[in-house]
Amino acid sequence: MTDLLIVGSGLFGLTMAREAAEAGAKVTIIDRRDHLGGNAWSEPDPETGIEVHKYGAHLFHTSNERVWEYVNRFTSFTPYVHHVYTTVNGVVYPMPVNLGTINQFFQAAYSPDEARALIASQAADIDPTHVDDNFRTKGISLVGKPLFEAFFEGYTSKQWQTDPEELPASIVTRLPVRYTYDNRYFNDTYEGLPTDGYAAWLTRMSDHPNITVHLDTDFFDPESEFSKSRTVGNLPVVYTGPIDEYFDYREGDLGWRTIDLELEVKPTGDSQGCPVMNYGDRNVPYTRIHEFRHFHPERAETYPKDKTVIAREYSRFAKRGEEPYYPINAAADRKRLKTYHELAATEPNVLFGGRLGTYKYLDMHMAIASALSRFNNVVAPFLSGETKTMALPERD
């Protein structure tokens, strides 16, 4: 007997499960993969022992005190600080755009004020009333046209295969622009990687006597004990899969991007000298290369000196049945999403959450914060009998 079914064991689902279990509810988690954690899973490479992020780099960072205190219940974190570099026209630059990037690109020695003035002049063609219209207008307003074309346009064409004018401005604003030589990738107060890896962290979150986990279990398999047809209307459900798949794509497919990772063990102790190298040139087919040994420099003595693991990342549109990573959120998507929200409002006690269930570009800390908030405001009152229904899907 279960009090709550959670479909998907990513960080939103695991957080919701843990909170419900600690409140006394019997919780069942199902996932069609063979492991917990969604895309945040990591595991040792069998040849080298180097911990590999199976679905691409996952870097934990947050300024949310509540989230930081919460995750530290299940894992400690290393002092890792993320730095990214990008190769454009055969030259390596620090990213995100900072004073070092600007001076290197223009072969200059601008002061912060001089750099600000330069960028402002190079963004002067953007109408101030239309800055937030789309990815292109916002990007040029932030870094000027030459830097936008060098560092964002080619990379974006590979990452999204969508006209930048069709992409929301929010995508580019995820990256800071700094007029100092600070090339940290994130601005957050707290940053690090789980000391024992993501697998240990995520497994600890599910380790509670009130939580039962069923892997290799598909919510859409009619033969499954926990299928949609057998549970919706009979059990309260937290659904964290793609919202369009839940409704059998009846209003059309939402636009999703997925990635392919091409892993290679190379016969060297260091292939590129940094954790992530982006490639901005259109003629380079991959968007970036991860070198996983650099995520845990504290393990240098335990990792082999003559081997390293890299992964070339390729981005493409996700087809049905493939793992969606990023919501494209073009105008047509937003129109379909509105209709899916209306359909979701009619589902009996189904809460849609997480990146896929809400069609939002959520980082890990954002998914955890969302789950904590929605448990307190929606699920806890429902489970205690204070309310008779669970909430509509989370909206912008």
Which are the catalytic amino acids? 174, 178, 257, 288, 313, 361, 363
Long-range (24+ apart) CB contacts under 8 A made by 334-342 are 336/244, 336/251, 336/252, 336/254, 337/243, 337/254, 339/251, 340/243, 340/244, 340/247, 340/251, 340/254, 341/392, 341/393, 341/395
Dist CA 321 CA 4 (whole Å): 26
**266 pairs with which residues across the strands?**
308
Dist CA 389 CA 277 (whole Å): 47
The 10 Å CB-count burial string (b at 16+, else e) for 325-344 is: bbbbbbeebeebbeebbeeb
Q: With H, G, I as helix, E, B as strand and everything else as coil, classify residue 241.
A: coil
379: how many CB neighbours lie within 10 A of its CB? 24
Say if strands 60-62 and 190-192 run parallel, antiparallel, or are unpaired. Answer: antiparallel
